[in-house]
Structure 1
Amino acid sequence: MKPSRIPRRAVPAGIAALMLALAVPAPAQAEQAGGHTLPADTRFYVEPDSDAAKQAVRDLLAHNVSEAAAMARLATWPQAHWFTGGTPAEVEEQTRTLVRRAAATGTVPVLVAYNIPLRDCSQYSSGGAQSDAEYRDWISALARGIGRSKAVVVVEPDGLANLPSDCSPTSDPTGALTAGRIADLRYAVDALAQQPNSVVYLDAGNSHWHGVGAIAQRLQQAGIEHAQGFSLNVSNFLSTDRSDRYGTWVSGCLWFATKGPEWARGHADWCASQYYSPAAPNDGQPGNAVDVEDPATWHWTDDWFRQNVGTPPLNELTHFVVDTSRNGKGSWTPPAGKYSGDPQVWCNPPGRGIGDRPTAATGTPLVDAYLWIKTIGQSDGQCNRNIPGGTVDPEYGIVDPAAGAWWPEQALTLVRNATPALTFAPWTRPRLPGSTGQSS
């Protein structure tokens, strides 16, 4: 997932040439996020030197016009910038450069803090700070870099959903590592949310992971009350409607356990989940057995929330954002019997597509934004579908690029399978080489 450092130049010559040939971004002037809210008309920052923009130049120079146009369309849309390491001084400088560049275009950048110790259980995206103290110094520097600038910050994807105690039965025998992780996340939320114009979302995994009550408890422990809300589906492929529904339950559960009826205080664990119940009541209607893969069967959970949570005041509910960068086709289901072990459906699944466009005008009251948080076209890691001794990914017939490496073929597939079809962003207008028209 590691991105390149923020370039110091605004628009490289090659990118400028491509923009003249295919699409010219209009100078963005829109109302920005203020305070700790995210207005519906928020415009998000577009990096002019993104992987997609550079790939478009390479494709154009190779006379692959169709591929160049696909990458040029992708390059006009905002994506998050990941901060994954470096010294405190480096991350402070890089962050300040990014937020100032965004401010100059009247847009709001989306930042991802991804440097928690023992990151990703030492798997594909392993790494992170070497100690809690080192991490807190790093987070403080990131916060200083933001300063009074406007920014959306997603805090530690999978950091809360994949605690050290979750890594293996022996990974945290005393619980000290997990306690340190929770404390680090609380520190990060506090430090970032204290910046006057930052909008902070603590990551909460996805709808096919922890039950509603379990993740609500973790969010409470990690200080969700100091954040704007939580993030869902980062780097995953689950459909937007599933994420919206799951996130709404999590929000309702947080209210139930903190502001709801007295008998419910402190009992997020009582909330019904997307797995409720293993033996659902049989009412003779379709969907009488709950299946996490089939939201049509989630009506038992809806019923539980109607009966126990009701309709809390909207201003007392926690908001959230959803990563829609790769969920246009939903999640991948491999053919039955193809793999004997875990097929790693989350890892570079074939045939996926980009989902809903980035926007803060979602039309769903608790969803502050749909964002492209995972960098489209970057590999999830060297997946082998859990074939013993295997290094080749049988879905592609190659060894996949390392986690975070740019993979042009995957990027092209995601663009071509986008649902809805990917166009140039509305603040750009394609134009032919030699045209003298101005962008609008």
Structure 2
Amino acid sequence: MRRISTGLAALLVGLASLLSAPTAGAAEAADVVADAADAERHRSGLYVPDANPAAYRQASELAWAGQLRDAAGILTMAHTPQAVWYGDQTPPQVERQIREVARDADRHNALPVFALYNVPGRDCSNYSGGGASNTAEYKAWIDAVARGIGSRDALVVLEPDSLALVPADCGQDDAQGTLTAARYTEVNYAVDKLEPLRGARVYLDTGHPGWHTVNSIVPRLLKGGIARATGFYTNTSNYQTDDANSWYGKLISSCLAYVDRGGDAANCPNQSWPRADAQAWLEENVRVPPSRMKHFVTDSSRNGRGPWTPPPGKYTDPQDWCNPPDRGLGARPTLRTGDPLHDARLWIKIPGESDGLCLRGTEGPEDPERGMVDPNAGDWFPEQALELVRLANPPILGGG
């Protein structure tokens, strides 16, 4: 009989106690894992925000059904450090909310991760569409974010998809590229407003290594103000492996250093090169110490099983990024990656929350891979949450 970890045992004992309390609910479930959340903060140095209330409801339902290990897994997932997202609040609201979280993180001696998601035309106005109405409105919103952070420490994931998916990519721009030019103005403004804050570190968007080549994303980073930011991030809300992400990050950082010394990004090795060839090129052309290069962070929230490979020829638009089946949680967040360029492995996407309505080129309304209608983007997805817990790699619960 395998032994279970002390932390898991405590979670299971607490969950078992819920079964004997007819009025037990979300508040009691929250109390059960409070100590575990504190332990996770101390272990990683990263902030654990309030969890989606739906995670507590699901854990309570699983506990009542006798599925204690699954319930403990959901709670552990919900109380792992992850980003706090902002994007639909007014300036006064976002200033107040960020200030509250920053203060709470400071009290816990933990580093908060803020994912800012309010750029005009975000997500090409698709599943996660919305954002500010125009550049002036966006600047006012960023000003409020800056006031909320103040002098406290914060890691800022600036506008997912803002550079990997500019308006020109969506077919939504005019012949003059007006909206794309505005996008770069907006991202640059945010960098210049947030990076100078005493404790803030700002990272810019690169999509993921299965999307843009190094040669195509580096010019966008340069236009977006990477020279004045701490660095960049990759794999937000996607499923690329840790190995692919760290290699992509190294290639991008090296290419930026090469361009900074007068090189052309078109000459840089990209992720499709044989690694031995790319490494030889880097050794010959990039002789800059890591301390003088741009750093990066990665998202490991749902990449434990790597990307999903759709059945060949089954779908006209497989949407491999959209609630793919049979994925698992990835490695736990940490500020200790062992790589001088890799500042942190984070859970940027909130695991358990849906990517949106995935039709995969069919008329729907059901997701043909799941046989059900997926929840709207950002809503809790119990079936996917349970998959992520059960298929986590490494396991979310110690002791197997």
- After TM superposition, is the score higher than 0.5? yes
Residue 334 of structure 1: how far off its partner (Å): 1.8
State the match for 2:73 in structure 1.
70
| Structure 2 residue 376 is matched with structure 1 residue 402 | yes
State the match for 1:79 in structure 2.
82
- Indicate the larger mover: 60-69 or 42-51: 60-69
State the match for 1:181 in structure 2.
183
Tell me which amino acid in the other structure corresponds to 2:325: P
Out of 318, 321, 327, the position equivalent to 1:346 is 321
Out of 158, 161, 174, the position equivalent to 1:158 is 161
Q: Is the 8 A contact 1:19 1:25 kept in 2?
A: no
TM-score, with length taken from structure 2 = 0.88
User: Which runs of structure 2 are paired with 1:266-285 in the superposition (5 Å)?
Assistant: 267-276=264-273
| Structure 2 residue 25 is matched with structure 1 residue 25 | no
Out of 364, 367, 390, the position equivalent to 2:342 is 367
Tell me which amino acid in the other structure corresponds to 2:384: Q
Residue 215 of structure 1: how far off its partner (Å): 1.0
Tell me which amino acid in the other structure corresponds to 1:193: E
Out of 280, 298, 302, the position equivalent to 2:279 is 302
Residue 234 of structure 1: how far off its partner (Å): 0.1
State the match for 1:200 in structure 2.
202
State the match for 2:115 in structure 1.
112
| Structure 2 residue 330 is matched with structure 1 residue 381 | no
| Structure 2 residue 120 is matched with structure 1 residue 123 | no
**1:117 match: secondary structure:** coil
Q: Is the 8 A contact 2:70 2:389 kept in 1?
A: no
In 2, Cα distance between the equivalents of 1:245 and 1:344?
Answer: 24
State the match for 2:293 in structure 1.
317
In 1, Cα distance between the equivalents of 2:184 and 2:284?
Answer: 32
Taking structure 1 as reference, are residues 68 and 192 closer, same or farther at Cα in structure 2, changes over 3 Å only?
Answer: same
In 2, Cα distance between the equivalents of 1:179 and 1:72?
Answer: 43
* Residues 4-26 of structure 1: CA deviation (Å, up to 9, x unaligned): xxxxxxxxx95552255466236
Taking structure 1 as reference, are residues 111 and 58 closer, same or farther at Cα in structure 2, changes over 3 Å only?
Answer: farther
- Indicate the larger mover: 170-179 or 323-332: 170-179
In 1, Cα distance between the equivalents of 2:280 and 2:40?
Answer: 45
| Structure 2 residue 140 is matched with structure 1 residue 137 | yes
Q: Is the 8 A contact 2:44 2:333 kept in 1?
A: no
* Residues 340-389 of structure 1: CA deviation (Å, up to 9, x unaligned): x22111111100001111000001121000000000011111111112x2
Residue 210 of structure 1: how far off its partner (Å): 1.4
* Residues 297-339 of structure 1: CA deviation (Å, up to 9, x unaligned): 4443333333333x32221111000000000100011222322
In 1, Cα distance between the equivalents of 2:34 and 2:74?
Answer: 11
In 2, Cα distance between the equivalents of 1:176 and 1:240?
Answer: 36
- Indicate the larger mover: 18-27 or 234-243: 18-27
In 2, Cα distance between the equivalents of 1:401 and 1:64?
Answer: 23
Q: Is the 8 A contact 1:28 1:105 kept in 2?
A: no
Aligned-residue CA RMSD (Å)? 2.2
In 2, Cα distance between the equivalents of 1:120 and 1:188?
Answer: 18
State the match for 1:329 in structure 2.
305
* Runs of 4+, deviation exceeding 6 Å: 28-31
State the match for 1:413 in structure 2.
387
**1:138 match: secondary structure:** helix
Q: Is the 8 A contact 1:189 1:226 kept in 2?
A: yes
Q: Is the 8 A contact 1:45 1:78 kept in 2?
A: yes
State the match for 2:47 in structure 1.
45
In 2, Cα distance between the equivalents of 1:318 and 1:74?
Answer: 30
Taking structure 1 as reference, are residues 255 and 171 closer, same or farther at Cα in structure 2, changes over 3 Å only?
Answer: same
Tell me which amino acid in the other structure corresponds to 1:156: E
TM-score, with length taken from structure 1 = 0.80
Residue 30 of structure 1: how far off its partner (Å): 8.1
More helix by share: 2
Identity across aligned pairs (percent)? 46
**2:254 match: secondary structure:** helix
- Indicate the larger mover: 190-199 or 300-309: 300-309
**1:25 match: secondary structure:** helix
**2:247 match: secondary structure:** helix
- Work out which structure has the larger RCO, using CA pairs closer than 8 Å and 6 or more positions apart in sequence: 1
Q: Is the 8 A contact 1:217 1:269 kept in 2?
A: no
Equivalenced residues, count: 375
- Indicate the larger mover: 152-161 or 73-82: 73-82
In 2, Cα distance between the equivalents of 1:238 and 1:191?
Answer: 31
In 1, Cα distance between the equivalents of 2:301 and 2:347?
Answer: 4
State the match for 1:287 in structure 2.
none
Where does structure 2 lack aligned partners over 5 or more consecutive residues? Answer: 1-23
In 2, Cα distance between the equivalents of 1:404 and 1:49?
Answer: 13
Residue 102 of structure 1: how far off its partner (Å): 1.2
